[in-house]
Amino acid sequence: MSLVVNIKKRFASFSLNVSFSTEGGIYSLLGCSGSGKSVTLKCLAGIITPDEGEIILDGKTLYSSEKHINLPPQKRKVGYMFQNYALFPNMTVKQNIMVGMSYLPSYLSFIKKSKYQEIIKLLRLERIQFNKPHQISGGEAQRVALARILVSSPQIILLDEPFSALDEHLRTHLQIEMKDILTKYGKEVIIVTHDKNEALLLSSHVATIELGSIINVLRSEEIFSSPIHRASAELLGYKNFALLDGNNSSWGIKVNNENNYRYITISNDSFSLYEKENRHLVKVINRYNSAGTTLVTFKFIDSNDSKDLIYWNTKEELPSDDTFEVGFKNKSLIYLID
Amino acid sequence: MSLYPLYNSLRIALFSSIIIFFLGLFLGYWVKKFPKVIKGIFDVILTLPLVLPPTVCGFFLLIIFGPNRPVGKLLLDIGIKIAMDWKGGVIASAIVSFPLMYRTVRGAFEAFDENLAFAGKTLGLSNHYIFWRIRVPACKNGIAAGSVLAFARALGEYGATSMLIGYIPGRTATISTTIYQYWRTNDDKNAWLWVGINLIISALVLIFVNIIENTERGKKNEFSSKY
């Protein structure tokens, strides 16, 4: 299974220029709102037509400006889950799912019935199968939308911010459930999200996207083993950045920059009062307490002229004095390119 | 008292409503897809009968369908009588009441969540299926309200109808032309009777429209409180 995407599309306010390829598994497109991630998905599904480029799914050309191919969405075999799930309001849950199997001729209705029974069991929809969409919960609506896509046997499934319509406290549980189902299904999946935790939890690869272009495609389990761009690190939730000039950082401390990287970053839970490596004197600028955690902003004492505040989230009991020593492990430093 | 005007009015209103229904659905959907400027032009043309005096519509209709005009003559030659015939009444009331259907339907189609149509497409459903089984049912209240309003307007049409088909008792008389005729001949009793009939029908229609709109609102509230 493979997807090759190389498309351009100009809009009044920004232009999309996306190229990436996948080789099976679950991919996340991680980006802020307005970065072009949903537009990319809509181009793949045939809802928006790119200006130029090509989209090839498993060797089949879905779109090619050169060969003048632009398959209608009906012929692409691309399953698309909308942010609001787009369940047909005039149909029951059962009808919504059955409609996904309209590609099967009516003499194969026994196959439709058995596929239907299988999917409602898998997604626990038996209880609500005769309800209308406005009579079910958001989590249930999501499962119905997924069921409808799965029975339509697409070659690839696209999920557009699948959890954004759901309450925060439901999400983690549903994310794990979704991952199990999608892994079991075994088809190619692309998830669009602005939530790094969602991306890392659900997918095998994370592609970061900014201003209409893909910045990095990273394997989730080895996300920082290859050099990545600063913008990707920002999308992945890093807040502490220092500019590097040789081994000197704009934080005022020296680092080991053999490969001449441009920036360095460190996550805001990497510091400790008790860490023996890299101990430095720091000056606390502010402390904010909430629920047993303290968010500290500080500067390294050697760099009082630096503007870069460093964020540190800690549960450790901090000295009342504002100047003390903290340490961090060498391996928690991540080197970045521009 | 002859009930012919009631029968003729209902017949004219029913046939013109059927024409308006399909034409309104088609144009309401078709015009929505155009860029803003062209949409504006179509909007003006298709809504014009709503603001024009019905006599102006009647005037144009006579110019087209009058027995001595090319189109009218051609139709007459193949045996279709429009002027001074109930079929002319169908055309006149269809044109005058069309904007009510068109505008209501277009509003309903514009409020339609286009993602539903896209979802249908990615599920492999034909555009035909999406239109009749997803778009129209989702907009059914707006479509029903538009149809009922257009029916009521067609039922009470006077100006264009009287110009094109006149008043011939037992042949082209409608409720509204009959009222005018009774009033003109100082037959207040019969005029009141037909006014009463017209009032009852119109009130029933409006009550029906209100019921449709209220159920629509109720459903929307139930949905929005959930998501």
Confidence of residue B134 (pLDDT cuts 50, 70, 90): very high
Q: CB B123 to CB A152 under 8 A?
A: yes
Interatomic CA distance for residues A263 and A338, integer angstroms: 7
Q: CB A74 to CB B124 under 8 A?
A: yes
- Identify the closest residue of chain A to B121 by CA–CA distance: A74
Beta carbons of A86 and A149 less than 8 angstroms apart: no
Interatomic CA distance for residues A180 and A182, integer angstroms: 6
Interatomic CA distance for residues A150 and B25, integer angstroms: 33
DSSP 3-state of B209? helix
Distance from CA of A47 to the nearest CA of B (A): 7
CB nearest to A88's CB, from B118, B126, B134: B134
What is the per-residue pLDDT across B18-73, written as a single tens digit (0 to 9) for each?
A: 999 999 999 999 998 889 999 999 999 999 999 999 999 999 999 999 989 999 99
Q: How far from A16 is each of A34, A190, A213, A236, B128, CA to CA, in Å?
A: 11, 18, 6, 21, 32
Q: What share of chain B is helix, strand, coil (3-state, %, to 5)?
A: 80, 0, 20
What angle do helix axes B175-184 and B140-156 make, rounded to 10 degrees? 30
For residue A238, list its beta bridge partners: none
Distance from CA of B203 to the nearest CA of A (A): 29
pLDDT at A239: 87
Interatomic CA distance for residues A139 and A161, integer angstroms: 13
CB nearest to B219's CB, from A88, A134, A148: A134
DSSP 3-state of B166? coil
Distance from CA of B121 to the nearest CA of A (A): 5
Residue numbers in A near B120 (CB within 8 A): 88, 99
Name the A residues in 57-76 with CB < 8 Å from any B CB: 72-74, 76
| A49 touching B (Cβ < 8 Å) | no
Angle A320-A325-A330 (CA atoms, 0-180°, nearest 5)? 140
**Three-state SS string across chain A, please?**
CCEEEEEEEECCCCEEEEEEEECCCEEEEECCCCCCHHHHHHHHHCCCCCCEEEEEECCEEEEECCCCEECCHHHCCEEEECCCCCCCCCCCHHHHHHHHHCCCCHHHHHHHHHHHHHHHHHCCCHHHCCCCHHHCCHHHHHHHHHHHHHHCCCCEEEEECCCCCCCHHHHHHHHHHHHHHHHHHCCEEEEEECCHHHHHHHCCEEEEEECCEEEEEEEHHHCCCCCEEHHHHHHCCCCEEEEEECCEECCCCECCCCCCCCEEEECCCCEECCCCCCCEEEEEEEEEEECCEEEEEEEEHHHCCCCCCEEEEECCCCCCCCEEEEEECHHHCEEEEC
Q: CB B122 to CB A45 under 8 A?
A: yes
Looking at the fold, whether A35 and A73 belong to one and the same domain comes out as: yes
For testing contact with chain A, the best of B112, B123, B129, B133 (most A CBs within 10 A):
B123
- Identify the closest residue of chain B to A47 by CA–CA distance: B118
What is the per-residue pLDDT across A22-79, written as a single tens digit (0 to 9) for each?
A: 888 899 999 888 888 999 999 999 999 999 999 999 999 999 999 999 999 999 999 9
| A102 touching B (Cβ < 8 Å) | yes
- From first CA to last CA, the distance across chain B in angstroms is 58
Distance from CA of B137 to the nearest CA of A (A): 6
**Helices and strands: H and E segment counts in chain B:** 12, 0
Across residues B98-123, what is the average pLDDT?
A: 94
Looking at the fold, whether A60 and A158 belong to one and the same domain comes out as: yes
pTM for this model (two decimals): 0.83
Q: CB B123 to CB A99 under 8 A?
A: yes
Q: CB A134 to CB B223 under 8 A?
A: yes
pLDDT at A337: 85
Looking at the fold, whether A176 and A275 belong to one and the same domain comes out as: no
Residue A64 domain-assigned?
yes
What is the per-residue pLDDT across B158-178, written as a single tens digit (0 to 9) for each?
A: 999 999 999 999 999 999 999
Beta carbon pairs, A and B, within 8 Å:
69
Looking at the fold, whether A119 and A141 belong to one and the same domain comes out as: yes
Q: Which one has a higher pLDDT value, B222 or A221?
A: A221
Which range of residues forms the domain containing residue A261?
238-337
Distance from CA of A29 to the nearest CA of B (A): 20
Looking at the fold, whether A318 and A199 belong to one and the same domain comes out as: no
Distance from CA of A1 to the nearest CA of B (A): 19
Residue numbers in A near B119 (CB within 8 A): 80, 82, 86, 88
Across residues A178-200, what is the average pLDDT?
A: 88
Residue numbers in B near A137 (CB within 8 A): 226
pLDDT at B225 over 50: no
- Identify the closest residue of chain B to A137 by CA–CA distance: B226
Domain boundaries, chain B: 4-224
Looking at the fold, whether A164 and A288 belong to one and the same domain comes out as: no
Q: What is the DSSP letter of B82?
A: -
What is the per-residue pLDDT across A263-311, written as a single tens digit (0 to 9) for each?
A: 989 888 889 989 888 888 888 888 898 888 889 998 888 765 667 788 9
Find, among A141, A312, A337, A72, the residue nearest to B122 by Cα.
A72
Contacts 24+ apart (CB under 8 A), B114-121: B115/A82, B115/A84, B115/A86, B116/A86, B116/A88, B116/A89, B118/A45, B118/A47, B118/A73, B118/A80, B118/A82, B118/A86, B119/A80, B119/A82, B119/A86, B119/A88, B120/A88, B120/A99, B121/A46, B121/A47, B121/A72, B121/A73, B121/A74
Confidence of residue B216 (pLDDT cuts 50, 70, 90): low
Distance from CA of B111 to the nearest CA of A (A): 14
Distance from CA of B225 to the nearest CA of A (A): 10
- Identify the closest residue of chain A to B221 by CA–CA distance: A134
Residue numbers in B near A72 (CB within 8 A): 121
Across residues B147-162, what is the average pLDDT?
A: 92
Interatomic CA distance for residues A315 and A179, integer angstroms: 31
pLDDT at B224: 47
Phi-psi region of A312 (alpha: psi -120 to 50; beta: other; left: phi over 0): beta
Q: What is the DSSP letter of B35?
A: -
Looking at the fold, whether A222 and A246 belong to one and the same domain comes out as: no
Beta carbons of B108 and B142 less than 8 angstroms apart: yes
What is the per-residue pLDDT across A80-111, written as a single tens digit (0 to 9) for each?
A: 999 999 999 999 999 999 999 998 998 999 99
Looking at the fold, whether A82 and A156 belong to one and the same domain comes out as: yes
Rg (CA), chain A: 24
Contacts 24+ apart (CB under 8 A), A93-96: A93/A125, A93/A128, A93/A129, A93/A130, A93/A131, A93/A132, A93/A133, A93/A136, A93/A144, A94/A129, A94/A130, A96/A133, A96/A144, A96/A148
CB nearest to B124's CB, from A47, A89, A152: A152
pLDDT at B222 over 70: no
Looking at the fold, whether A42 and A143 belong to one and the same domain comes out as: yes
Q: What is the DSSP letter of B168?
A: -
Residue A233 domain-assigned?
no
Residue numbers in A near B134 (CB within 8 A): 88, 90
Interatomic CA distance for residues A165 and A139, integer angstroms: 9
Q: Which residue, of A165, A200, A227, is where some domain finishes? A: A227
pLDDT at B223 over 60: no
CB nearest to B123's CB, from A72, A84, A100: A100
Quote the number of domains for chain A.
Answer: 2
pLDDT at B227 over 50: no
Tell me the residues of B at the A interface, defined by beta carbons under 8 Å apart.
113, 115-116, 118-126, 129, 134, 137-138, 140, 219, 222-223, 226-227
Residue numbers in B near A165 (CB within 8 A): 227
Distance from CA of B102 to the nearest CA of A (A): 23
Answer yes or no: CATH 1.10.1740.10 is held by domain B4-224: no
Q: CB A80 to CB B119 under 8 A?
A: yes
Q: CB B121 to CB A72 under 8 A?
A: yes
Looking at the fold, whether A164 and A81 belong to one and the same domain comes out as: yes
Q: What is the DSSP letter of B69?
A: S
Looking at the fold, whether A83 and A221 belong to one and the same domain comes out as: yes
Q: What is the DSSP string of B100-149?
A: HHHHHHHHHHHHS-HHHHHHHHHTT--HHHIIIIIIHHHTHHHHHHHHHH
Residue A232 domain-assigned?
no
Looking at the fold, whether A87 and A207 belong to one and the same domain comes out as: yes
DSSP 3-state of B93? helix
ipTM score here? 0.82
What is the per-residue pLDDT across A128-180, written as a single tens digit (0 to 9) for each?
A: 999 999 999 999 999 999 999 999 999 999 999 999 888 888 888 888 888 98
Beta carbons of A96 and A148 less than 8 angstroms apart: yes
